[in-house]
Amino acid sequence: MTVIDAPRTLDPVTLEVIRNALPAISDEMSFDLQRTSYNMMIYEVRDYCTALLDTQGRLISQNIGGVSHFVADLGVVIKDGIQRFGLDGFAPGDVILHNHQAVAGQHLNNMVCYTPFFHDGELLGFAVVRAHWVDIGGQSTGFGAGGTAYDPWSEGLQIDQLKIYEAGVVDRKLLKLIRDNIRYPDAAMGDLRSQMAACRLGERRFTELVERYGRDTVLRSIDTIYRETEQKCRGVVAEIPDGVYSAESFLDAASGRYDIKVKVTISGSDMEIDLSGCSPQREGGMNSRTFAGAYIAYKALTVPLEPVNEGSFAGLRVVIPEGNMMMARYPVMMASWSGALPTVVDTVWRALADALPERIPAAHSGSLGATFVFFGYDPRRDRRFVVQSIESGGWGGRPTEDGESVSMSVCQGDVRNAPIENIELKNPILVLERALRQDSGGPGKFRGGLGINTRAQALVPGRWAAGGGGGRVNCPPWGLWGGQPGKIAETLIKGPADAEFRRSESPRYIGDAGSEVIHRTAGGGGWGDPLERDPARVLVDVQEGYISAQSALDDYGVVLTPDLARVDLEATAKLRAHRSILRR
């Protein structure tokens, strides 16, 4: 797409119509994908994004609520395709697939499908859908191979800018090759058709916009939108005091500890996020190739509620050297690519807590959620099945209110868990419990949000995802300004003959009929001194089951009457005063 300087005479009403029309196109693509997809990760969990990009690989628009950590990695795929084919190497009717880690930098289940769109023979941009396939061969079933893969080829099929349709002509041999190497071909091919349909819809809607307002007006408007979005973001950054801000955290994985070290530099309206201090890439570890952690933190700090486009990140410089865990060199496995991202975002915010004490929350659950996966063979229906959901955790307490309970991470947009009714209707499994996890939120003046307890039982033999429950193991979600950390996540397993649950020691658990798994997700950290929390709010927390009566006494210094109906105000005041003296 040719960049055109927006003239002063660009009609402001038309500009606003186009400004709102572009995200609306991506949103309509999203609705189309969700309604027609085959796999629960798309139509229920919403693990996808839909977008329009220009011929320089710049983001024109992305659907509202699209998976946040996809935002940094659509342009790299389009730029790689342009380098591969050249701008004159695309034709109407082309459909290209790509998930190759050398460019995409993610686990192989995240499949990109994109199509070029034209007007009067001129290439104007690309419609793109990235969506989570239930399986892509290798050890990819569910959420990817995790810690069990040893290289990219063991993870699954790597598809590198392959045209499955060329000028409208399908390559049936290529589609057969894909079908023959994945476990659930009907679901994958159905999802692929949904992705293609969403892309075609995006093509049509953008073309209609060009035909209505004219090519030059639409292109000028897009360039203006980029520039104005950048100005808004820079205006927010300019209000942060200049300086260099640092913070550290860490993650534990089967391959060892990963250090997360962040340095944020503010200079006027410029922000630089330097992740050079993070651990180097490691075989079998949390390797990725993405700017997503820095992008998400920046977007949340600047204009979080406005539609995202290329201008959203034009004022940000991200520093990540090659070979860093966040910019891993291919070939190295990237099945756990997203595991570090929520902690990276939290650590960026932690670095800025002193500069923005009125805005920065305590840490949230620190993961993309517990991966609820069970798959095997259903003899009643005579077919293979896979159950997928994501069980979310708590958010950190905030300067003015408690953290949200059981909410997806900052990296996940409108992703949600799968409904119990749908899980049980379509698969041989029972969900015995899905409840708030008492006492999991970090105590504070503003309490951390709660995690979740999800307990499920298999009705047939199969394989469970049984990793760590999605969360930091030895670095729990931290509190701020005297707030205490939230509880860490864990996964428990129990065979049909076992008397008790035990902690899972492996990312996969092969269980017989009657086996059970419990996913316990982490809570958010607390904000502020727990002794400053309003005793009346502590009473409500106990009565609602959010915290125990013991926690009210031990963590908040609140004494309740034996029937838990009222606060003993005199005893509470004495206890808090005593504890305050002990702290001095």
Between 107-121, 304-318, 467-481, the lowest mean confidence (pLDDT) is in: 467-481
Q: Tell me the pLDDT tens digit for each residue of 452-465.
A: 999 999 999 999 98
As given in the structure block, the two tokens for residue 493 are 């397993």
* pLDDT per position as a tens digit, 407-421: 988 888 778 888 999
pLDDT recorded at residue 143? 61
Residue 559 has pLDDT above 80, yes or no: yes
Mean pLDDT, residues 334-356: 92
**Looking at the structure, do residues 545 and 519 belong to the same domain, yes or no?**
no
Q: Give Cβ neighbours of residue 368 (< 8 Å, ≥ 6 apart).
A: 338, 339, 341, 342, 390, 408, 409, 411, 412, 470
Backbone phi, psi, residue 583, to 5°: -75, -25
pLDDT at 564: 95
Tell me: pLDDT of 470 over 80: no
Q: Which residues contact 46 (CB under 8 A, 6 or more apart)?
A: 34, 65, 67, 413, 414, 415, 416
Domain assignment present for residue 338? The answer is: no
The pLDDT assigned to 7 comes to: 46
Give, to the nearest 10 degrees, the angle between helix 341-351 and helix 292-301.
50
Peptide bond into 241 cis (omega under 30): no
pLDDT at 8: 52
Does one domain contain both 18 and 150? yes
Q: Is residue 208 part of a domain?
A: yes
Side chain identity at 425, as an amino acid letter? Answer: L
Cα-based angle 63, 64, 70 (whole degrees, multiple of 5): 60
Give me the domain span that covers residue 548.
534-583
Residue 116 lies in a domain: yes
How would DSSP label each residue in 367-432?
A: SS-EEEEEEEEETTTTEEEEEEEEE-BPPPP-SSSPPPSSB--TT-TT--PPPHHHHHHHSSEEEE
The residue ranking higher by pLDDT, 522 or 68, is 522
For residues 579 and 478, membership in a common domain is answered with no
Q: Domain for residue 400, yes or no?
A: yes
Indicate if 507 and 403 belong to the same structural domain. Answer: yes
- 525 and 538: one domain? no
Q: Both tokens of residue 120?
A: 């009067």
When pLDDT is averaged across residues 456-480 and rounded to a whole number, the result is 85
- In a shared domain, residues 515 and 546: no
Residue 527 shares a structural domain with residue 538:
no
pLDDT (average), residues 430-444: 97
- Are 551 and 467 contained in the same domain? no
Res 106: pLDDT: 87
Question: Tokens in use for 385?
Answer: 């099945």
Q: Which residues sit opposite 163 in a β-bridge? A: 96
Of 216, 232, 248, which one is at a domain's C-terminal end?
A: 232
Is position 264 within any domain? no
CB-CB contact of 39 with 62 (8 Å): no
- Beta carbons of 403 and 364 less than 8 angstroms apart: yes
169 and 203 share a domain? yes
* Higher-scoring residue by pLDDT: 319, 337: 319
Say what angle helices 185-213 and 12-36 make with each other, to 10 degrees. Answer: 160
pLDDT at 525: 97
Q: Is the pLDDT of residue 440 over 90?
A: yes
Does the pLDDT of residue 120 top 50, yes or no? yes
Name which of 391, 421, 422, 415 is nearest 405 in CA terms: 391
* CA–CA distance, 332 with 336 (Å, rounded to integer): 11
In whole angstroms, give the CA distance from residue 47 to residue 89.
Answer: 30
Range among 187-191, 538-542, 578-582 with highest mean pLDDT value: 538-542
The predicted model gives 436-454 an average pLDDT of 97
Domain count, the chain: 3
Asked whether 271 and 316 are in contact (CB, 8 A), the reply is yes
pLDDT at 147: 59
Does 550 map to a domain? yes
- Of 232, 267, 293, the one marking the end of a domain is 232
**Do 556 and 423 share a structural domain?**
no
What are 366-398's pLDDT values in tens digits? 887 788 889 899 999 999 998 888 889 999 999
Q: Mind spelling out the 3-state secondary structure of 483-515?
A: CCCCCCCEEEEECCCCCCCEECCCCEEEECCCC
Given a cut of 80, whether residue 406 has pLDDT beyond it is yes
Within-domain flag for 246: no
pLDDT band at 1 (very low <50, low <70, confident <90, very high): very low
pLDDT of 142 > 80? The answer is no
Model confidence band, residue 253 (pLDDT cutoffs 50, 70, 90): confident
Pick from 199, 202, 218, 201: which is nearest to 210 by CA? 218
Domain limit, last residue, from 170, 201, 232: 232
The predicted pLDDT at position 6 comes to 44
Output the average pLDDT for the chain.
91
Average pLDDT over every residue of 254-258? 77
Same structural domain, 29 and 64? yes
pLDDT over 90 (residue 558): yes
**What confidence category does residue 148 fall into, taking pLDDT thresholds of 50, 70 and 90?**
low
| Averaged pLDDT for residues 181-207 | 94
Round to whole Å and give the CA distance between 146 and 333: 9
Average pLDDT over residues 490-510: 89
Mean pLDDT, residues 570-583 taken together? 92
* Average pLDDT for 219-238: 97
Q: What is the pTM of this model?
A: 0.91
Q: State pLDDT tens for residues 419-430.
A: 999 999 999 999
* Whether residues 365 and 407 fall in one domain: yes
Residue 448's CB is within 10 A of a number of other CB atoms, namely 39
Rounded to a whole number of angstroms, the CA Rg of the chain reads: 25
Is 26 among the domain residues? yes
Yes or no: say if 499 and 456 are a contact pair by the CB < 8 Å rule.
no
